[in-house]
Chain A
Amino acid sequence: MKPLTEIGQLAEHYDLAVVGAGPAGLSAAARASELGLAVLLVDENPEPGGQIYRSITTTPVTDRAVLGVDYWRGADLVARLKRSAAAYAARCTVWSIAPDVESDGASFEIGLSLDGRARLITAGQVILATGAQERPFPIPGWTLPGVMTAGAAQIALKSSAIVPKGRTVIAGCGPLLYLLAGQLAAAGAEIVAVLDTTPRRNWPAALGALPDFLRSPYLAKGLKLMAKARRSLRFLGGVTSLAVEGSGRLSTIRFERGGASESIACDTLLLHQGVIPSVNLSNAAGCAHEFDTVQHCWVPQLDDWFASSVPGIAIAGDGAGIGGAESAALRGEIAALDSARRLGRITIAERDNHAAPIRTALGRTLRGRRFLDLLYKPATQFLAPIVDDTIICRCEEVTAGQVRDAAKRLGVTGPNQMKAFLRCGMGPCQGRLCGPTVVELIAETRGTTPAEVGYYRLRPPVKPVTLAELASLPQSEAAVKAVVR
């Protein structure tokens, strides 16, 4: 591995650029490099690992049992990258990917920024391995200090060995909820309750997918986690509503279950209702997306090799649809093989041969996924908040009621028009925390589906870049002419 610490150290051109150093990106970069490609792996974090293997090389957590054996597997992925010849730029953001005009679209122009300095480089192929983010969980009061995502607490634990102080409540649903609760408890957090919002009516739909789940690696692992968490923690199931109370900061979580209202005083509330692909970069790069009704989120349209609708851009890992860390690593390998094939470094037969055992393993890791997706599909009231005052765009402070009103009374049929009218999605997070909710609210109000409503058309830069950085980039005579008239 060749670590790059300054933007000037990057080459002008790479065969392959891989964005994101989580399991998919690490594997893709390592595999492609092993196949002889000139590879650049770019990641915005200081250390490799992505979120699931966050700080795997530097974590101050000493007790290995706290994070569990699955976490420590990430070390092997990083070790493989280190043995490879790939270039690796940490703390480097990718803010734009577009066809390179100079090469007539044969390669991509990639906008990067490191330490406040921007650069444009080119790459013949691109693999986006930007992973997932937690699904927005808009409830009344969720913007109050003291409320954060469960994933945030996990990141704090892995990278800084810190845990929430005082009474902590975890609320939501999804397979990760048990893992997070277990890890935090093991790390010494005082978890006073886990409020489970898994809708009981999901069971009939999920049962159809149960046989596969019973043969999947998820089962044993999941049961162990759940049993451990349930043994030691106070689980309250069937929670149908959540509201944060407090003045200036969280003081109480109020919730309903079985028709009765209850409340718990707490210092920290951790929210989680599953993860969804991060689509900002793939969307801004022009890749087509579709709404996956099982995972209930937008996913890029991909072929069997994870190639997107933009020839030359592949998407691996959870960014291609949620599959978890092990499948992410395998998808990264498959995408890398196809990149090498596209560049003419290996033949189709070689690619297929290499890929065959990986596909078998991938099938195994994904078996049972559908059951989890169906069982833990969030309840409608947590996707499209019922209380009109609930803020759904945290940046511009737009409420669910405003979105409903515009959809109903002003005839707004899609998120792009909504953005123009209400500014939702125009703040610094660029729609990451409101997009899914805006779509859900429009669909609900207009009696249609998220797939019909569509999604934001996202624009570069998808990561912060300053005006001075943009100003420092190459110009062209035609560009000057188009501006100075």
Chain B
Amino acid sequence: MSSKSNHTEPDVVVIGGGVVGGAIALGLARSGARVTILDEGDAVPRASRGNFALVWVQSKGFGMPEYAMWSRRSADDWHGLADILGEETGIDVAHSQPGGFMLCLSQDELGKRVDAMHRLHNQTTLTDFPYEVLGHAETKRRLPDIGKDVVGAIYSPLDGHVNSLKLFRALREATTRRGVDYRPNCPVESITPRDGGFRINGSWGEIATAKVVLAAGLGNARLAPMVGLDAPVKPSKGQIIVTEKTAPFLHNPMVTVRQTDEGGVMIGDSQEDRGFDTVVGQPILSVMAERAVRMFPRLAGLNVVRTWSALRVMSPDGFPIYDLSRSCPGAFVVTCHSGVTLAANHVLTLAPAILSGVLPDAVASFSARRFHV
């Protein structure tokens, strides 16, 4: 497993084989780099297997308008990413951007949401982020299946969704076809800067590389300090319910309800700080189910086939961390809780920049140095 001889040494090692690592690796490979992905095994927590699959813009970026713009840019570029994945792998990741709704079940909820949107848009530079506040009647006109308890909604034409498991697979397929060396069951124990590059070790052996990208999700918190970086990410637990397949009836994604291209209805999303605990909590399922049925009464009779909880990769302010190491040039960290939304940026913008050694201005605000002021 160890690559001691120089001729197999990759240009870049990406640590982490999820949606974030896969996207970075694909972007690097498309730019001509020889890439190795070091991944862990089957049973580790993986946000890539547990997420809600939205390509979402509305409501993002309060406190950091750059995040709104970064999300918007990725949503715009997602059409191109879907095409690329289709061409390279033959996999249709079911990307669509029909506009998304945030349904509210009380005037209080709607009021809070409207306030939040106002505050978000009062930030300078957020000029071209269209959204609408809709009452019950107009929401009902656009989404005839809503229940009487829906008092209104916020709608943004920028929002969409994708089949995130197909995205995950397409990234693996595309990187494999481009010769990326994917190594499962290779958890990284140490990264040592040496001779202007890095030696990466684990019980599986050692690999040397000129550049390393940390895309290990929650694992980044442990790895970053080894190369002079900081990634103070913590798990944020979210629960999801998925129903049996049903005939298509829900065209648009909601923040908390969406129908997948296969037909199942996904219901989310809770948020709890409970460390690495992933036990599914019954009261939360009950709240999520009850709200979903009030939003769409016809969901009531559907069988639930699975519930699960997954861990978001959350930074102290909730925004991504993109950074390059000053003390160990060639080391980068990429971490966020919106690996699906930001996949287009990661493939098309961030990866080529990493290969060139300079991060783009658009992500200058995402350095972890923001936590040290």
Q: CB within 8 Å of B: which residues of A?
A: 96, 98-99, 101, 109, 111, 120, 286, 409-417, 420-423, 426-428, 430, 453-454, 457, 459-461, 464-468, 470-476, 478-480, 482-485
Count of B interface residues, CB-CB < 8 Å: 53
B43 touches A420 (CB 8 A): no
| Complex: A427 Cα to B306 Cα, angstroms | 9
Are B49 and A416 in contact (CB-based, < 8 A)? Answer: yes
A-B residue pairs in contact (CB < 8 Å), sample of 30: A98-B280, A286-B279, A413-B184, A414-B42, A415-B42, A416-B42, A420-B48, A420-B169, A421-B172, A423-B262, A457-B43, A459-B280, A461-B306, A464-B304, A464-B305, A465-B304, A466-B300, A467-B289, A467-B292, A467-B293, A467-B303, A468-B293, A470-B286, A471-B300, A473-B286, A474-B283, A475-B283, A480-B287, A482-B270, A484-B287
Are B281 and A483 in touch, CB under 8 angstroms? Answer: no
**Chain B interface SS verdict (over half):** mixed
Q: Which residues of B contact A (CB under 8 A)?
A: 39, 41-43, 46, 48-49, 109, 165, 168-169, 172-173, 176, 182-185, 241, 243-244, 256, 262, 267, 269-272, 279-293, 299-308
Residues of chain B within 8 A (CB-CB) of A422 are 169
CA distance A471 to B297 in the complex (A): 11
**Cα–Cα, bound, A461→B302 (Å):** 13
Q: How far is the CA of A213 from the CA of B166 in the complex (A)?
A: 51
Contact B286 A471, beta carbon cutoff 8 Å: yes
A416/B43 in contact, CB under 8 A: yes
Would A483 and B282 be within 8 Å (CB), given that A464-B303, A467-B299, A468-B300 are in contact? no
A479 touches B286 (CB 8 A): yes
Report B148 CB to chain A, min CB distance, Å. 16
B308 touches A459 (CB 8 A): yes
Of all A-B residue pairs in the complex, the 6 with the closest CB atoms, nearest first, are A414-B42, A479-B283, A470-B289, A471-B290, A468-B300, A471-B289
Pair B185/A467 contact, Cβ less than 8 Å = no
Q: Which of B290, B300, B306 contacts A426 (CB 8 A)?
A: B306
Closest chain-B Cβ to A448's Cβ sits at a distance in Å of: 10
In whole Å, how far is A420's beta carbon from the nearest beta carbon of chain B?
5
Bound form: Cα–Cα A473–B269 in Å? 18
B42 touches A485 (CB 8 A): no
CA–CA, A464 to B185, complex, Å?
34
Contacts of B284 in A (CB 8 A): 479, 482-483
B301 and A468 contact, CB distance less than 8 A: yes
Asked if A467 and B283 make an inter-chain contact with CB atoms under 8 angstroms apart, the answer reads: no
Of A101, A417, A430, A467, which one neighbours B302 at CB under 8 angstroms?
A: A467
B286 nearest in chain A by CB position? A473
Residues of A within 8 A of B282 (CB): 96, 98, 109, 111, 120, 473-474
Residue with the greatest number of chain B CB neighbours at <10 A, chosen from A412, A427, A468: A468
When chains A and B are docked, how far (Å) is the Cα of A467 from the Cα of B43?
28
On chain B, the residues within 8 Å of A482 by CB distance are 270-272, 284, 287
Contacts of B290 in A (CB 8 A): 470-472, 475
Q: In whole Å, how far is A469's beta carbon from the nearest beta carbon of chain B?
A: 8
Nearest chain-A residue to B262 (Cβ)? A423
Partner of A427, one of B169, B291, B305: B305
Interface centre among A99, A109, A470 (most CB of B within 10 A): A470
State whether B185 touches A413 (Cβ < 8 A). Answer: yes
Bound: A99/B169 CA distance, A: 35
CB contact under 8 A between A460 and B173, given known A483-B287, A485-B271: no
The smallest beta-carbon distance between B21 and chain A, in angstroms, is 13
CA–CA, A480 and B272, complex, Å: 11
A385–B293 Cα gap in the complex (Å)? 43
A96 partner residues in chain B, CB cutoff 8 A: 280, 282
Q: How far is the CA of A99 from the CA of B241 in the complex (A)?
A: 20
Q: Are A467 and B281 in contact (CB under 8 A)?
A: no
User: Which A residues are CB-close (under 8 A) to B288?
Assistant: 483
Task: Say yes or no: B182 contacts A413, CB within 8 Å.
Answer: no
Question: Complex Cα distance A482/B262, Å?
Answer: 28
- The docked-state distance in angstroms from the alpha carbon of A484 to that of B176 is 41
Task: Please name 19 further chain A to chain B contacts, defined as beta carbons within 8 Å, in addition to the given A99-B279, A413-B184, A474-B282, sorted by A numbering.
Answer: A96-B280, A98-B279, A414-B42, A420-B169, A421-B168, A423-B165, A454-B42, A457-B43, A459-B308, A464-B303, A466-B300, A466-B302, A467-B300, A467-B301, A470-B290, A476-B283, A479-B281, A479-B284, A483-B287
Chain A, residue nearest B281 (CB)? A479
A471 touches B293 (CB 8 A): yes
**Contact of A467 with B304 in the complex, beta carbons under 8 Å:** yes
Complex Cα gap A118–B288 (Å): 16
**Distance in angstroms between the alpha carbons of A484 and B108 in the assembled complex:** 11
With A459-B308, A466-B304 as given contacts, are A475 and B286 in contact (CB-CB < 8 Å)? Answer: yes
Shortest CB-to-CB span from B71 to chain A, Å, is 18
Which residues of A sit under 8 angstroms from B243, Cβ to Cβ? 467
A109's nearest neighbour on chain B, judged by CB, is: B282
Task: Report the separation of the CA atoms of residues A413 and B204 in the bound assembly, to the nearest whole angstrom.
Answer: 15
Q: Which residue of B lies closest to A420 (CB)?
A: B49
Residues of A within 8 A of B41 (CB): 413-414
Query: Do the beta carbons of A466 and B301 come within 8 Å of each other?
Result: yes
User: A286, A466, A479, A484: which contacts B303 (Cβ < 8 A)?
Assistant: A466
A459 adjacent to B286 (CB under 8 Å): no
Bound Cα distance A101, B49 (Å): 27
Whether A454 and B307, one on each chain, are in contact in the complex, defined by CB atoms closer than 8 angstroms, is no
* Residues in chain B near residue A457, CB distance under 8 A: 43
Question: Given A468-B301, A482-B270 in contact, is the A414-B43 Cβ separation under 8 Å?
Answer: yes
Report chain A residues within 8 Å CB of B304. 461, 464-467, 470
